Amino acid sequence: MVRISGAVLIALLAAGPAGAEVVAPQQVIFDDGAVPSSLTGVPGNAEVGRTIAVDRKLGNCLACHENTDLAAEPFHGEVAPPLDGVADRWSEAELRGILINSKMMFEGTIMPAFYRDTGYSRILPDFEGMTILDAQQVEDVLAYLLTLTE
């Protein structure tokens, strides 16, 4: 308990002004797989999000998704649909939901949940209680996805 509030506090401080509240992973409310409201209240940065999407230790989206906008990066996966034009196919709220926990949208999907910190089996101790991306990183990747129109 104490540790969780500590983490939230740090996140709050990091988020800076306006007293924006960071929504904790277990507090996220889904509506048909979508999450309408921002996790941080701070608008995402698409440029940063683009880097996170490529980073193998963070989004690593290219592991599974092909993405023409990132054609300069080697090795795009074939496991998932291409990310080209996702912003035409999905709303902001839907994309946020897919990022936070795609299993709420696609039952049984291979895609990891990027903002979920419980319910894992045999998670490596280094990752125990942690999410793959933090709340602002989710908003940043979301901002990037919203640039992917055709």
Partner 1 sequence: MKIRTITTALAAAVLASVAPADEDADLVVEGETLITRAPAPAHVENLTEVLSGWLFRSDETQALQTDDFDNPGMIFVDQALDTWDEVDGAAGKACASCHEDPSSLAGVRTTMPKVNEDGELWAMEDYVNDCRTTRMEAEPWKWESQDMLNMTALVSLQSRGMPMNVAIDGPAQSYWEQGKEMYYTRYGQLDMACANCHEDNYGNMIRADHLSQGQINGFPVYRLKWAGLGSIHRRFKGCMENIRAEPFKRGSDEFTALELYLASRGEGLSVEGPSVRN
Residues in the site for partner 1, rule: CB under 8 A? 56, 60, 62-64, 66, 68, 71, 74-82, 84, 110, 112-113, 120-127, 130, 132
For 2, residues 6+ apart whose C-beta sits below 8 A from its C-beta are none
Distances (CA, A) of 33 to 6, 17, 47, 97, 133: 29, 30, 26, 6, 18
Q: What, of ligand HEC, partner 1, none, does residue 121 touch, CB below 5 to 8 Å by kind?
A: partner 1
Crossing angle of helices 2-15 and 135-145, in 10° steps, is 50
Of the two residues 39 and 61, which places its CB atom closer to ligand HEC in the complex? Answer: 61
In the complex, the smallest distance separating the C-beta of residue 99 from partner 1, rounded to whole angstroms, is 14
Cα-based torsion angle of the residue sequence 47, 50, 56, 59 in order, rounded to the nearest 10 degrees: 110
Which residues are near ligand HEC by CB under 6 A? 53, 59-61, 63-65, 79-81, 86, 89-90, 95, 98-99, 106, 109-112, 114, 141, 145
46 binds, among partner 1, ligand HEC, none (CB under 5 to 8 A by kind): none
Q: Distance between CA 80 and CA 118 in Å, rounded? A: 24
Is the Cβ of residue 21 or residue 66 nearer to partner 1 in the bound state? Answer: 66
3-state secondary structure of 40: coil
Shortest Å, Cβ 131 to partner 1: 9
